[in-house]
Amino acid sequence: MAQPIELILVRHLASGLALPTFLIDAEGTLVFYNEAAEPLLGHRFDEEGAMAFDAWTAAYAVRDDSGRPVGVDEIPLVRALRGGRPVHARVAIIGRDGAARTLEVSAFPLVGLGKEVLGAAALFWESAAEDG
């Protein structure tokens, strides 16, 4: 499946970032996460590959600060994609390795020259216990 050049360029940029990065296309399909994200997600991207929206949203068991499951529409990356605006939130996930992690997530839509939303990206990091 051909991807817009902007999505390809963001993937190329993300591959060189030291900050964990997760990238989805306009349909919500996971198209890439970088090497820095692999320890937090509990799996290597080259072993996982692209994942359909329903698969990746279920795979990471996203929860809020209280431990309650977060609805798909409340996942920061989904909110950025569907709302067309940046979003920041703290969430907890269960990685593919079974480990629970609390993450700070900053997600933003990827918009083409014609103002169409082409996908979204999330930059994230593990939240330190003393962060609150």
Q: What is the pLDDT of residue 50?
A: 94
pTM (predicted TM-score):
0.91
What residue segments make up the domains of the chain, in order of their start? 5-14+25-131
Question: DSSP secondary-structure letter at 47?
Answer: H
What is the b/e burial string over 80-116, where b = at least 16 CB atoms within 10 angstroms of the residue's CB? bbeeeeebebebbbebeeeeebebbbbbbbbeeeeee
Q: What is the pLDDT of residue 128?
A: 79
Q: What is the pLDDT of residue 114?
A: 86
Name the percent of the chain lying above pLDDT 70: 96
74, 101 in Cβ contact below 8 A?
A: no
Residues in the chain: 132
As given in the structure block, the two tokens for residue 128 are 């330190």
As given in the structure block, the two tokens for residue 4 are 């817009």
pLDDT at 130 over 60: no
42 or 48, which is more confident: 42
pLDDT at 132 over 60: no
Record: fold of 5-14+25-131: Beta-Lactamase (3.30.450)
pLDDT at 131 over 80: no
Report helix, strand or coil for 129.
helix
